């Protein structure tokens, strides 16, 4: 597997459609909203979707894991209260 660093064009729409989120047929925001993932899991998806394209692959993968672990902690606390 080769990690690719996306070269960002000066004319790229960095607000509405950043190139590092638009590398496939579906933008992460569409999945996050459609699946109602919320903050933690939505951010995990965001970091997973861009890890190859933003120039910080390991950092982005670790951040995705951090958000997933944070969500696991929240769910575990909630389950203990039941």
Residues 19-77: tens digit of each pLDDT? 776 777 888 999 999 999 999 999 999 999 999 988 899 999 999 999 999 999 999 99
Of 33, 34, 12, which is closest to residue 22 (Cα–Cα)?
12
Q: Angle CA(18)–CA(64)–CA(22) in degrees, nearest 5?
A: 20
pLDDT-derived band of residue 16, with 50, 70 and 90 as boundaries? confident
- Judge whether 54 and 37 are in contact, CB under 8 Å: no
Report pLDDT for 5.
Answer: 44
Domain positions in the chain: 20-81
Say whether pTM exceeds 0.95. Answer: no
Report pLDDT for 3.
Answer: 43
Rounded CA separation 74/5 (Å): 34
């Amino acid at each position: 597997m080769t990690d690719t660093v996306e070269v960002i064009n000066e004319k790229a729409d960095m607000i509405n459609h950043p190139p590092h989120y638009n590398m496939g047929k579906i933008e992460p925001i569409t999945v996050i909203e459609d699946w109602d993932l919320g903050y933690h899991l939505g951010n995990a998806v965001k970091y997973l979707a861009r890890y190859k394209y933003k120039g910080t692959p390991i950092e982005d993968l670790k951040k995705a894991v951090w958000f997933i672990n944070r969500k696991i902690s929240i769910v575990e606390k909630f389950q203990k209260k039941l």
